[in-house]
Amino acid sequence: MKNQLYFQLKNNHRQEKAFEAIEKEQHHIGYYALPDQDISPILEYCNTISNSIETIAVIGIGGSSLGAKAIYEFIKPTQKNLKKLYFFESTDPINITTLLSKIDLQKTHFLVISKSGTTVETFAIYKYIYSLQNNPKHYTFITDPNSPLEKYAHEIHASVLHLPPNVGGRFSVLSSVGLVPLALSGIDIQMLLNGAKMIKTSFFKEGYIKDILLKKAVFYAKNHAQYHINCIFAYSETLKFFCEWYVQLWGESLGKKQRHSAFNVGLTPIGLIGPKDQHSFLQLIMDGTRDKSVTFIQIDDFQDSITIPDIDLPHLSSLNVLNHLPFSELINMQCNSVLEALKDQKDIPLDSITIPRVDEYNIGSLIFYYELLTSLVGELIDVNAYDQPGVEAGKIILKKKLENS
Amino acid sequence: MKNQLYFQLKNNHRQEKAFEAIEKEQHHIGYYALPDQDISPILEYCNTISNSIETIAVIGIGGSSLGAKAIYEFIKPTQKNLKKLYFFESTDPINITTLLSKIDLQKTHFLVISKSGTTVETFAIYKYIYSLQNNPKHYTFITDPNSPLEKYAHEIHASVLHLPPNVGGRFSVLSSVGLVPLALSGIDIQMLLNGAKMIKTSFFKEGYIKDILLKKAVFYAKNHAQYHINCIFAYSETLKFFCEWYVQLWGESLGKKQRHSAFNVGLTPIGLIGPKDQHSFLQLIMDGTRDKSVTFIQIDDFQDSITIPDIDLPHLSSLNVLNHLPFSELINMQCNSVLEALKDQKDIPLDSITIPRVDEYNIGSLIFYYELLTSLVGELIDVNAYDQPGVEAGKIILKKKLENS
């Protein structure tokens, strides 16, 4: 991974303070340890799943689905032999019916994922699917130790896997929550962790990433009152769900009351895909209010890229400049053109990340990079990046409505 | 459509001024006339397409694809007999290869849509596909009259359809740009226009919608410096691409230098899908900076909704409140719970739109509602809602790079 920053910053004191806080925090926040875990228990579990299973389906929402989906949808277009992986993550009846029409219940293994073990959406969907397929062999439950869900699973003699301690939902993709569905679908989870480990090592062992992440985090934190919308502009359709994962990670971690002031603060995440969103959101970045930072993400080598053929279209010869160009070069040229155009504005904070190619290692590195960045910014803007107290009020109201219905 | 506003507003003077401006503008901005158009030429054209065509593919980007995609993806899950409609809207080589692997070139009709007739992405993709399928009978071109693309199409004896005059890309979904692919896939485009016409009539003929839209537009404009992020929170997966269409419409229309001051202003659109994004973005709305308005969209009647079965799960009997509940009721209960929780905060501007069901009429009404709202807000914050000067700089840089490559 290369990461070039296009903004200026002086302030080493805050950088060092943030680093120290994270060094301390890693001893009680669970996600930092995930890149170093031993995956053999997960692989052994995967071997217990019958060969007749052709499809994996996750029943889970938010942190229980977004991470695995980001990685699966990134890898899928380049690896033809993966098992199908579906995500039941909505109570929309049209969505549930549509997904069920795509799968064969006899050939599907369901992963019911709920950290607390009481997520309303997950159980509404599970109950419905269980009424169609009540063989416990077709289910694995992933939950916190001793949750009601674990007890239930033991009762019906279904498999249970645990989340590691102190890993919050949105930081859980590199735990069993993400690794189990990904491994079952055929993704190389060790390579995923290796990519994350590279970032972790470079950060904690004084490498290139430490300097970059600290500079970036301090810049975002210092300027959060002005540049409070942080766009990722990713130049590949494969990163569409990575952007959705980023939106949860960033928004839910950093939209908080401050610890010491109780002021409402927050950094708003936006996920954009290029070149498509050049024809949508770019105008707003270019001419709108100066409240947005932009991080471009590009893929250096789209392997086996197709090439624009040498065709001269009558009346359209101005487009002959495209001829002979590999699409991979065109899309990166488009990215660099927009980057340069925004640089010329001089008051839009920009940086650009390049990953070498579409594989497990590189998405693992991107994920851990963004998790570290989120933790750093959370520390610097004085919020607890690991809770989500704001979503409780709606849950309580829903509970009352359900009891009265 | 029902629309309930939960914010207060006094200011009739600005409302009337905005209405007058739109009444005047409708004589030279083309999109206002689209609901009243005669669709028989489009239907006649559709009859010329061979019965052997099983798949429709749009080659187009931004305004040339987002609208048709929003409508198609909304309707598709509830109408099983539609023809497949694909969108080639990226220069990502992985995306192009993946889409091509799904279609049979001999059974696909391609709609090449480019208003200017020179969009780089569209021609890069077209040249590639043309090298695989060079029979002009498999192509229809949709473009402005006399564009280079029209001349080219005549040269190869392919069909050409025109965009009506003065209709910008992001306001073009109810013109040939959207209607042709939708009609070819089997969607009832007259019902689509009828829905739009209902909103148009209610707005211009002093109906319910006039009052609502003017209040809402004046509120957004008056408070644009504080509440400059406008979220749609739609409670159905079917509205996912409607949200993407909204993001383009809102962001590209309202992110501008002001006409009279040249200040950079802009309203930032965010599209959210419930209940999924309760587990992602909601925390930021609830506890983050008070810079966001939220419009909930719900569907009153998900026809043929499935019901949560009456299953008592051991150790999970607290979830028995879900039993017997139709999913359609659950999802709307979730929506209303979050709405109430946000209302309790008192400083987040909210409104809620309910459409009766998933059909052409209702998506047509939503689309025209948002187009009118965009025009009104554009007028009120003193920007030209119909141009996009900010995207030119990147195009010029790309052109130079292409010439030097």
**The two structure tokens encoding residue A359:** 């594989």
Measured CA to CA, the distance from residue B373 to residue B254 in angstroms comes to 11
- What distance in Å separates residue A196's CA from the closest CA in chain B? 23
Measured CA to CA, the distance from residue B267 to residue B139 in angstroms comes to 38
CB A303 within 8 A of CB A358: yes
For the domain A30-187, what is the CATH superfamily, name and number? Glucose-6-phosphate isomerase like protein; domain 1 (3.40.50.10490)
Q: What is the mean pLDDT of residues A67-72?
A: 98
Taking an 8 Å cut-off on Cβ atoms, the answer to whether B92 and A124 are in contact is no
| 3-class state of residue B262 by DSSP | coil
Is domain B30-190 in CATH 3.40.50.10490, yes or no?
yes
In this structure, which CATH number among 1.10.10.10, 2.120.10.30, 3.40.50.10490, 1.10.8.60 belongs to the domain B2-26+195-389? 3.40.50.10490
- What distance in Å separates residue A178's CA from the closest CA in chain B? 16
Taking an 8 Å cut-off on Cβ atoms, the answer to whether B93 and A131 are in contact is no
Which of A127, A150, A232, A358 is most worth mutating to test chain B (most B CB atoms within 10 A of its CB)? Answer: A127
Measured CA to CA, the distance from residue B123 to residue B242 in angstroms comes to 26
Taking an 8 Å cut-off on Cβ atoms, the answer to whether B281 and A252 are in contact is yes
The per-residue pLDDT of chain B, averaged, comes to 96
Class of domain A2-26+191-389: alpha beta
Catalytic residue numbers of A?
252, 279, 395
Specify the domain boundaries for CATH 3.40.50.10490 within chain A: 2-26+191-389, 30-187
Q: Kindly indicate the confidence band of residue A309, based on its pLDDT and cuts at 50, 70 and 90.
A: very high
Burial group, residue B118, by CB count within 10 angstroms (0-12, 13-18, 19+) = middle
Active-site residue flag, B197: no
The one-character DSSP state at A133 is -
Query: For A34-52, what is each residue's pLDDT tens digit?
Result: 999 999 999 999 999 999 9
Measured CA to CA, the distance from residue A189 to residue A184 in angstroms comes to 10
User: What pLDDT score was predicted for residue A10?
Assistant: 74
Query: For A184-202, what is each residue's pLDDT tens digit?
Result: 999 999 999 999 999 999 9
Measured CA to CA, the distance from residue A292 to residue A285 in angstroms comes to 7
Query: For B17-44, what is each residue's pLDDT tens digit?
Result: 999 999 999 999 999 999 999 999 999 9
Q: Read off the amino acid at residue B318.
A: S
Q: Kindly indicate the confidence band of residue A8, based on its pLDDT and cuts at 50, 70 and 90.
A: confident
Please give the model's pTM, rounded to 2 decimal places. Answer: 0.98
Taking an 8 Å cut-off on Cβ atoms, the answer to whether A276 and B89 are in contact is yes
Q: Which residues of A104-125 are buried (b: 16+ CB within 10 A; e: fewer)?
A: eeeebbbbbbbbebbbbbbbbb
Size of interface A-B (CB pairs under 8 A): 392
Which has the closest alpha carbon to B89: B162, B181, B17?
B181
Q: What is the mean pLDDT of residues A4-21?
A: 89
Taking an 8 Å cut-off on Cβ atoms, the answer to whether B308 and A124 are in contact is yes
Query: Which entry of B279, B315, B346, B401 is annotated as an active-site residue?
Result: B279
The one-character DSSP state at A323 is T
Taking an 8 Å cut-off on Cβ atoms, the answer to whether A91 and B331 are in contact is yes
Which residue from B minimizes the CA distance to A395?
Answer: B337
Find chain A residues with C-beta within 8 A of B306's C-beta.
93, 96-97, 128
Query: Backbone phi, then psi, for A265, in 5-degree steps?
Result: -125, 170
**The two structure tokens encoding residue B268:** 């930032």
- What distance in Å separates residue A51's CA from the closest CA in chain B? 27
Measured CA to CA, the distance from residue B342 to residue A394 in angstroms comes to 8
Least CB–CB distance from A237: residue in B92, B255, B256:
B92
Taking an 8 Å cut-off on Cβ atoms, the answer to whether B128 and A309 are in contact is yes
Which residue from B minimizes the CA distance to A394?
Answer: B338
Query: For A243-258, what is each residue's pLDDT tens digit?
Result: 999 999 999 999 999 9
Taking an 8 Å cut-off on Cβ atoms, the answer to whether A405 and B325 are in contact is yes
As a whole number of Å, the end-to-end CA separation of chain B is: 53
Which residue from B minimizes the CA distance to A347?
Answer: B264
Which of A96, A101, A327, A362 is most worth mutating to test chain B (most B CB atoms within 10 A of its CB)? Answer: A327
Query: Backbone phi, then psi, for A327, in 5-degree steps?
Result: -60, -35
User: What pLDDT score was predicted for residue A186?
Assistant: 97
Find chain A residues with C-beta within 8 A of B66's C-beta.
280
ipTM comes to 0.97
Which of B74, B141, B286 is most worth mutating to test chain A (most A CB atoms within 10 A of its CB)? Answer: B286
Is the model's pLDDT at A304 over the cut of 80?
A: no
Residue for token digits 């599907």? A108
Cα B305 to chain centroid distance, Å, stands at 25
Is the model's pLDDT at B381 over the cut of 90?
A: yes
Active-site residue flag, B252: yes
Which of A61, A80, A94 is most worth mutating to test chain B (most B CB atoms within 10 A of its CB)? Answer: A94
Taking an 8 Å cut-off on Cβ atoms, the answer to whether A155 and B314 are in contact is yes
